[in-house]
Amino acid sequence: MDTTLPDAFAPPQSSSSAAQGNEVPEDTANVNGAAPFVKVDDPPKFDLESYIANYTGRTRFDRLYLIGTCSTLLSTDALKVAVAEAKSGKDVGRYEKAVRALSEVAPNEPDAKLDLAWVKDTQRRVRAEGDRLELELRGYKNNLIKESIRMGNEELGTHYHQTGDSVSASKAYSRMRDYCTTPNHIASMLFKLINVAVERGEWLSVQSNVHRLRNAQSKPEDQAKNQPKISAALGLAQMHSGSFLEAANSFLLTDPSLGDTYNETITPNDIAVYGGLCALASMDRVELQRRVLENNSFRNFLELEPHIRRAITFFCNSKFRLCLDILDAYRADYLLDLHLQRHVSALYSHIRTKSIEQYLVPFSRVTLESMATVFAPEVVGGEARPTSATSPFVQELIRLIKDGVLDARIDLEKGVLVSNETDLRTEVQQNTLESLRSFNEKAHMRILRTSVLHAGLEVRSHDRKEGPPLAKGLAGRLSRGAGILG
Amino acid sequence: MTVSLAELTAASARLHNHTDLSDELYDDRIRDLVAYFRHLLSTDALSTFARDDFLLDNFDPSADSVAFLFILRSQIQKAKERTSENLPGDVWPTGKLWIRAVHFLKNFDRVQARYVGQEWRQLVELAGRAAQAASKPLLGARLVRDAMLRLDPSCAVFTSTHLLLVRLCLRARTYACALPVLDRHICYFPALVGRADSKAAQPLLCSEQESSLAFMGDASGLSSKLSSKDYLQYFLCGGMIYMALKQWRKALHFLGIVVSMPIAGSLSMIMVEAYKKWILVGLLEKGKLCPPPSLTSPHAAKMYQSLTRPYITLAQAFERDDVGRLKAEVNAAEHVWSTDNNTGLVAQVMNAFYKHTVIRLGKTFAALTMADLAEQALPWPTTEEDAESIIASLVMSSDLGARLLHSQKRTSSTMLRLSAVSHLPRLSHEMEMQVQLRNEGRSLKTLMSNLEQSNHQLGLSDEYIDNAQKNQLWAGSGEIPASEQVGLDMDEDIMGDLH
């Protein structure tokens, strides 16, 4: 397999063109090796055809390719669609990548052979088209008509984008900035930049462009129209940078008027899933209830993905096993999602840790066994001593306690988890005593030091007795002693 | 020239009933009396009484301190001349003169003693020497301590007697005996007085003083000439006394004082010694390698690093929870510990290591078997039985709040139950806490009044600091002579803390 990268931002292979070849190192850096290669053996719950029909644009191929390379069950189907998808476009690099992947999983498929004639033909057409657009742009520039130059750049950018040369695409789009005359133009340019950045996985640039969009002074109705897209893109970027709470907030702010308008990047279903998972991973029960379940605008999204809604409801009702069951059932789906794949484990472990935390809240002591039935049912069935110190579940608890997440202690004799009693009175007393003591010690040290200096008794090599230092020098040396005044 | 007993008693009697006298008059009279006795002493007029063992019965040390002290002094002098020994037999404990000296030091009048500081100090030192010579340092230690506290209950001024006391206590192994003095914070040195306001109107020695600093100046003779070595030794010895009493925190404070003393030039070996002990005591108290106090000069800190290698590697092994390496380090540098006289401390470090490991476990577990314990604290030393006995001894010495429970079945291993925060009964814990809080509060108050006093001595007031800052701003605009730049780094510190 030539690409071991789990996400779809894999660089076009060097065979496509020299211009694209030089972006390879840059692109691999974006991926950061964040996730190891994922293989999903479980069958996902979605239907490939209808799933992919939700999307438009280049993300279709990225998603298909991801499913094809990661899922063992769907690989042939997905890759066949991916090949067809690539062939309908102009991106030769993608076509070659898809065919290579397909030939690895199903060498006998008729699609697994490279259609050399198509490749050559497309390459020629792409080059010709590119040359023509460059030429036109040069012409516009000579005429100095702003609007034409802007449109020329836009066309060129779109062309590069479609052919997979995203670096040149973003360059071309950026060049539009000087020729934009209305806020609308700026907004559309920024959206194009965001789309390219999302495809390339450059989340910082997504965020900065989102901020530029926010600050753009467009008309209120345009602002309202753009808002859902802006929130969705920002949420996506925040999720990728690991700040789940901010991401959840952004997704929750997304207006349901988003509808199908942003299908080249994200669908309302995705918003529901991403927002729901991020919220589950970062908010407590009250917040979830108030800000997610009782959020009228977000309800529209949640209705698209009822199981997320159910999971959140279960979490709020402290039915953690059911919540985790739902999430586990959909794990395969999320692992095959373009944006979620790399964050599934982090999100899930956050949610799990939070569930354990919340589960413990009402108890002062709880048996390890009952916890294990909720959080590790497979252990209870399988092992002889599910609650011994060596069982993975107890190890997990130990880790959580050591990290300071859980304020409790394990009693292995009785097999219970005892939450620590905080004795506020004693604690305050201890703290007071400690701060008094350390202040006294420090103050004493400094007073003494001042006296030593003043008496001219510093430690000297030959211990000669000398007069007191001059007042001038003293002031400088006192600077440390004076700290006691605070 | 000779004087009669009647003359002496009459002279001394002028000081009686001093409550009726004004401070000035009282001061005059004591000064006159001291001058009179100094004169008598120099003209050998008291020699007639040298052999009169009962002469001193005519004087009450609490009322006639001056007379008593001078007569005793002349008698001791004569005894020395007679036997041509430095410490004649009469002065040794249980000797005639010893009993007199004890009687005086226990009962002298603290106001009158201020006027005869030098004689007083010499008597205390003599008593200390005699007690040591007779191998009864314990007697000397008590005597010196009580005399010091009698003269100056605050004990805030460092004198040479302080050093004498801690040495006697260390020799006598009566560590607790020194505590009343050690626990009082020393804030001044005698040299500080006199210079600061020699011109200013000095308060009378006999008047009620807020701070003992007023009568413990250099001129009083209550302390011999001091050098940095003296106070370094005092704090090091004091630290050792606290170590012997296992009051690690206070020991750490004393050692920290030595370690962080300002240096002009090179380090003193006493400071290096102290730093070695500082590392070990830091491990015992806090379970980690403590960095030297923040006041330590960077130069000194660097020197410590290079001079105390074995100690630092030992501490690092401790911090890394590596029992194997810790043991290896302890064994490898055995000669270092013994030449530095730190073997005892190092031996305790091993115990402290087990203690800290178990305490850390106590944060995670409420109860676990010894087998689990071995698994959790991976580098647990030896067999389960050994571990059990180590823990048992920790529990017995109440270093660790835990209980061991044997199970009835022979096969399963012992259960260790670690109790939470406090295992003391609620009420006694509370009481103890309150006592401690009150003590600390009191010492805070003393420190604050001492701070005010030393601010006064230094002429440091808000106005001065304002003025100094203004001067700096002013100097900062022009070119500054290199020597003055030293004073420039005071601004942020002082100002930052003031507001």
To the nearest 10 degrees (0 to 180), the angle between helices B269-286 and B248-259 is 150
Report strand pairing: B365-369 vs A408-411: parallel
Are B367 and A412 a contacting pair at CB < 8 A?
yes
| Number of neighbouring beta carbons within 10 Å of residue B300 | 23
What is the rounded distance in angstroms from the CA atom of residue A47 to the CA atom of residue A58?
20
Q: What is the mean pLDDT of residues A77-100?
A: 86
Are B441 and A436 a contacting pair at CB < 8 A?
yes
| Number of neighbouring beta carbons within 10 Å of residue A60 | 21
> How many CA atoms within 13 Å lie on the side-chain side of B409?
4
Are A409 and B441 a contacting pair at CB < 8 A?
no
Question: Which residues, in sequence order, are CB contacts of B281 under 8 Å at separation 6+?
Answer: B239, B243, B248, B251, B252, B255, B345
Are B487 and A476 a contacting pair at CB < 8 A?
yes
Which bin fits B77, alpha (ψ -120 to 50), beta or left (φ > 0)?
alpha
What per-residue confidence (pLDDT) applies to A13?
A: 36
| Minimum-distance CB partner of B493 among A458, A474, A483 | A483
- With beta carbons under 8 A apart, name residues in chain B contacting A461: 265-266
What is the rounded distance in angstroms from the CA atom of residue A446 to the CA atom of residue A479?
10
On whether the CB atoms of residues B481 and A478 are closer than 8 A, the answer is no
What per-residue confidence (pLDDT) applies to A10?
A: 36
On whether the CB atoms of residues B151 and B120 are closer than 8 A, the answer is yes
Chosen from B228, B358, B373 to mutate, greatest number of chain A CBs within 10 A: B228
Residue A258 Cα distances to A201, A229, A269, A316, A486, angstroms:
22, 7, 11, 27, 57
Q: What is the mean pLDDT of residues A236-257?
A: 89
A434 within a domain of the structure (yes/no): yes
A122 within a domain of the structure (yes/no): no
Please give, rounded to a whole number of angstroms, the shortest distance from the CA of A36 to a CA of chain B: 30
- Is the model's pLDDT at A191 over the cut of 70? yes
Q: What is the mean pLDDT of residues A343-351?
A: 89
The chain A residue lying nearest B364, using CA atoms, is A409
Q: Number of H helices and number of E strands within chain A?
A: 25, 4
Are A410 and B444 a contacting pair at CB < 8 A?
no
What is the rounded distance in angstroms from the CA atom of residue B349 to the CA atom of residue B317?
11
What is the rounded distance in angstroms from the CA atom of residue A346 to the CA atom of residue B335?
53
What is the rounded distance in angstroms from the CA atom of residue A481 to the CA atom of residue A332?
65
- CA B84 from chain centre, in angstroms, equals 36
Residue with tokens 């599910």: A386
What per-residue confidence (pLDDT) applies to A42?
A: 77
The chain A residue lying nearest B218, using CA atoms, is A455
Pair of tokens at residue B389: 């006995």
- With beta carbons under 8 A apart, name residues in chain A contacting B358: none
On whether the CB atoms of residues B363 and A409 are closer than 8 A, the answer is yes
| Minimum-distance CB partner of A475 among B415, B468, B496 | B468
What per-residue confidence (pLDDT) applies to B211?
A: 65
| Minimum-distance CB partner of B265 among A414, A421, A461 | A461
On whether the CB atoms of residues A208 and A170 are closer than 8 A, the answer is no
A440 within a domain of the structure (yes/no): yes
Are A479 and B494 a contacting pair at CB < 8 A?
yes
Please give, rounded to a whole number of angstroms, the shortest distance from the CA of B424 to a CA of chain A: 12
Give the length of chain B: 499
What is the rounded distance in angstroms from the CA atom of residue A387 to the CA atom of residue A350?
23
The chain A residue lying nearest B271, using CA atoms, is A459
Residue with tokens 């001291």: B34
The chain A residue lying nearest B437, using CA atoms, is A433
- With beta carbons under 8 A apart, name residues in chain A contacting B229: 463
On whether the CB atoms of residues A170 and A197 are closer than 8 A, the answer is yes
| Partner residues linked to B416 by β-bridges | B368, B404
Residue type, A207: Q
A201 within a domain of the structure (yes/no): no
What is the rounded distance in angstroms from the CA atom of residue B96 to the CA atom of residue A273?
99
What per-residue confidence (pLDDT) applies to B410?
A: 61
Tell whether A70 and A59 lie within a shared domain.
yes
- Is the model's pLDDT at A482 over the cut of 80? no
Phi (first) and psi of residue A261, to 5 degrees: -75, -15
What per-residue confidence (pLDDT) applies to B380?
A: 57
Pair of tokens at residue B303: 């020197």
Look at residue A202 and give its three-state secondary structure: coil
Tell whether A380 and A452 lie within a shared domain.
no
| Minimum-distance CB partner of A447 among B187, B271, B498 | B187
A/B interface, count of CB pairs below 8 Å: 196
Report strand pairing: A365-367 vs A416-419: antiparallel
- With beta carbons under 8 A apart, name residues in chain A contacting B369: 412-413
Pair of tokens at residue B209: 């003083």
What is the rounded distance in angstroms from the CA atom of residue A359 to the CA atom of residue B451?
54
Give the length of chain A: 486
What is the rounded distance in angstroms from the CA atom of residue B448 to the CA atom of residue B432?
24
* Domains in chain A, number: 4
- CA A49 from chain centre, in angstroms, equals 27
What per-residue confidence (pLDDT) applies to B202?
A: 58
What is the rounded distance in angstroms from the CA atom of residue A266 to the CA atom of residue A258?
10
Are B261 and A449 a contacting pair at CB < 8 A?
yes
Residue type, A176: M
| Minimum-distance CB partner of A433 among B190, B232, B437 | B437
- Is the model's pLDDT at A168 over the cut of 60? yes
Tell whether A403 and A479 lie within a shared domain.
no
Are B253 and A444 a contacting pair at CB < 8 A?
yes
Q: What is the mean pLDDT of residues A369-381?
A: 75
| Minimum-distance CB partner of B262 among A413, A452, A461 | A452
Residue A29 Cα distances to A1, A26, A201, A234, B148, angstroms:
20, 5, 10, 21, 75
Nearest to A483 by CA among A448, A454, A451, A446: A446
Are A411 and B490 a contacting pair at CB < 8 A?
no
Please give, rounded to a whole number of angstroms, the shortest distance from the CA of A378 to a CA of chain B: 23
Look at residue B370 and give its three-state secondary structure: helix
pTM value? 0.69
Please give, rounded to a whole number of angstroms, the shortest distance from the CA of A397 to a CA of chain B: 9
Q: What is the mean pLDDT of residues A213-242?
A: 84
Alpha carbon dihedral B460, B465, B467, B470, in 10-degree steps, equals 160
Tell whether A288 and A367 lie within a shared domain.
no
Phi (first) and psi of residue B415, to 5 degrees: -95, 135
- Is the model's pLDDT at A428 over the cut of 60? yes
DSSP single-letter state for residue A409: E
- Is the model's pLDDT at A315 over the cut of 70? yes
Residue intervals in chain B for CATH 1.10.10: 365-434
CA dihedral sign, ordered B103, B104, B105, B107: positive
Tell whether A396 and A410 lie within a shared domain.
yes
- Which of B168-184 are b and which e, b meaning 16 or more Cβ less than 10 Å from the residue's Cβ? bbbebebbebbbebbeb
- CA B60 from chain centre, in angstroms, equals 32
Tell whether A330 and A407 lie within a shared domain.
no
Please give, rounded to a whole number of angstroms, the shortest distance from the CA of B452 to a CA of chain A: 10
What per-residue confidence (pLDDT) applies to B50?
A: 64
| Minimum-distance CB partner of A454 among B267, B441, B458 | B458
Tell whether A70 and A28 lie within a shared domain.
yes
Burial class (CB in 10 A: 0-12, 13-18, 19+), B189: buried
What is the rounded distance in angstroms from the CA atom of residue A371 to the CA atom of residue A112?
51
| Minimum-distance CB partner of B366 among A409, A449, A473 | A409
| Number of neighbouring beta carbons within 10 Å of residue A277 | 28
H-only helix segments in A144-267: 146-162, 166-175, 183-200, 203-215, 220-240, 244-253
Q: Tell me which residues of chain B have a pLDDT lower than 70.
A: 1-3, 45-52, 191-204, 206-214, 217-218, 375-384, 409-412, 420-426, 460-461, 475-499
Chosen from A451, A452, A480, A484 to mutate, greatest number of chain B CBs within 10 A: A451
A48 within a domain of the structure (yes/no): yes
Residue B141 Cα distances to A372, B72, B117, B158, B168, angstroms:
65, 21, 19, 17, 5
On whether the CB atoms of residues A303 and A269 are closer than 8 A, the answer is no
Tell whether A238 and A336 lie within a shared domain.
yes
The chain A residue lying nearest B406, using CA atoms, is A413
Please give, rounded to a whole number of angstroms, the shortest distance from the CA of B331 to a CA of chain A: 32
- With beta carbons under 8 A apart, name residues in chain A contacting B368: 389, 410, 412-413
On whether the CB atoms of residues B262 and A474 are closer than 8 A, the answer is no
**Domain housing A290:** 219-361
The chain A residue lying nearest B424, using CA atoms, is A426
Chosen from A391, A433, A454, A459 to mutate, greatest number of chain B CBs within 10 A: A459
Tell whether A224 and A310 lie within a shared domain.
yes
First vs last C-alpha separation in chain A: 67
- With beta carbons under 8 A apart, name residues in chain B contacting A395: none
Question: Which residues, in sequence order, are CB contacts of B255 under 8 Å at separation 6+?
Answer: B235, B236, B239, B274, B275, B277, B278, B281
Residue A106 Cα distances to A66, A75, A82, A99, A100, angstroms:
16, 9, 14, 10, 10
Are B497 and A485 a contacting pair at CB < 8 A?
yes
- With beta carbons under 8 A apart, name residues in chain B contacting A409: 362-366, 418, 420
Nearest to B228 by CA among A406, A137, A461: A461
The chain A residue lying nearest B217, using CA atoms, is A455
- CATH class of the region B365-434: mainly alpha
Q: Is the ipTM of this complex over 0.95?
A: no
Tell whether A402 and A330 lie within a shared domain.
no
Tell whether A352 and A269 lie within a shared domain.
yes
- Is the model's pLDDT at A312 over the cut of 50? yes
| Partner residues linked to B403 by β-bridges | B417
The chain B residue lying nearest A397, using CA atoms, is B364
- Which of A75-98 are b and which e, b meaning 16 or more Cβ less than 10 Å from the residue's Cβ? bbbbbbbbbebbbebbbbbbbbbb
Are A455 and B261 a contacting pair at CB < 8 A?
no
Tell whether A237 and A355 lie within a shared domain.
yes
